Structure 1
Amino acid sequence: MVTNPQPNYTSPQEYLEGEKTSQIKHEYIDGEVYAMAGASDAHVTLTGNLYMLLRNHHRGSGSRVYMADMKVQVEEINRYFYPDVMGTCDTRDQGTDYFKSHPCLIIEVLSDSTEGFDRGKKFQDYSYLPSLQEYVLVSQDRMYVECFRKNEKGRWELFRFAAGETIEFDSINFRCDIAAIYEEVKIS
């Protein structure tokens, strides 16, 4: 028996084609398409700082870093998201132009409107990615970063970084002073 999809159902293929020409970005969850809101100065600056630091670190290595406009596909549960920053060292990701499926690092800059989703359901959805080794949440109102790192048993461990500390992203062998990430960000 064939079931009919929901009336507002959008196939993954329709979604991906629509995103190529859309004036705004959308995330995709089980056939539903959700428009994304704009971001604050702090959010954009943090994202840019992280991208530049990670991009410079990986220059010439074969690993790639993306920010804001590259989707991640969570195929097992039919999802597409736009992480703020994502890193992949998997050669399979070189074969896709509009999304990546094998990131080892995903970073989300928290905002009041998305923090609950980023901490909860989105993290749960990202955890379906076998390649994901670290999921990072960056506060935009204080110098504070949380890194959820998958241990050798496949369990997520939390590492917190605050002012004066060195951040470590083991998945990509990256270290820097937290102040570099917060350069030119006004902290309340």
Structure 2
Amino acid sequence: MFIPKNNFYISPADYLEAEQISPIKHEYRRGHVYAMTGAKNPHVVIAGNLVRRLGNHLDESNCIVLTSDTKVRLEEANCYYYPDVAVTCDQRDTTSTDDFIRYPVLIVEVLSRSTENFDRTEKFADYQTCSTLREYVLVSQNQMKVECFRLDESGNWNSQIYEKGSEVYLESVDFQVSITDIYQKVAGLI
């Protein structure tokens, strides 16, 4: 996952208190805290491209687009994660003064070699406990590839892969963007 977990339980309240003064970010999973490593430039550029374009698209809506500085609280899974991009349209989040949200409709993770397996498996399983989440998007930083998992009306998560030349559609926020725009200014991929 990240840096090896500690061997003792930390309560969510203690985690939140410590996180407010910590010089680095940590994710919280079932009583264990994991330090987050810094991201490489392609990761940051991709996330920034998505935040900017989603923000412009949702400017006149009641939704807000959040960066990796805001945590998502998953009550049922007992986790706090810092996704690269999150969108919430729920008034309980949009009017909250907390440093986390609880009701995202869209989560985007930009994959890195060290986190890809966890993002695809355990983290995705944890996110699936969120009743408001409709899309979970994994964006490669090493190749022009976006994988979108959508929750259908039957409660199943279906995958759609977008590659070079594609128009990426995020149904949860009715947003369409060229995959080239997602990867704009990422050296070696355009």
- What is the RMSD of the two structures over their aligned residues, measured on CA atoms? 1.3
- How many residues align? The count is 183
Are residues 1:148 and 2:134 paired? no
TM-fit CA distance, 1:30: 1.1
Which segments of 5 or more consecutive residues in structure 2 lack a partner in the other structure?
A: 1-5
CA deviation profile, 1:100-134 (whole Å, cap 9, x unmatched): 00000000000000000000000000000010000
Q: Aligned residue for 2:56?
A: 56
TM-fit CA distance, 1:150: 0.4
TM-fit CA distance, 1:96: 4.2
Q: Aligned residue for 2:131?
A: 130
Trace 1:10-49 onto structure 2 (pairs within 5 A): 10-49=10-49
CA contact (8 A) 1:71 1:81 kept: yes
Q: Report % sequence identity.
A: 49
CA contact (8 A) 1:143 1:187 kept: no
Q: Aligned residue for 2:87?
A: 87
TM-fit CA distance, 1:8: 2.0
Q: Aligned residue for 1:3?
A: none
Structure 1 runs, 4 residues or longer, greater than 6 Å off = none
SS at match of 2:10: coil
SS at match of 2:38: coil
TM-fit CA distance, 1:95: 2.1
SS at match of 2:188: coil
SS at match of 2:55: helix
Aligned residue identity for 1:119: R
Aligned residue identity for 2:17: E
TM-score (norm: length of structure 2): 0.93
SS at match of 1:95: coil
CA contact (8 A) 1:109 1:137 kept: yes
CA contact (8 A) 1:74 1:125 kept: yes
125-134 vs 12-21, greater mean Cα deviation: 12-21
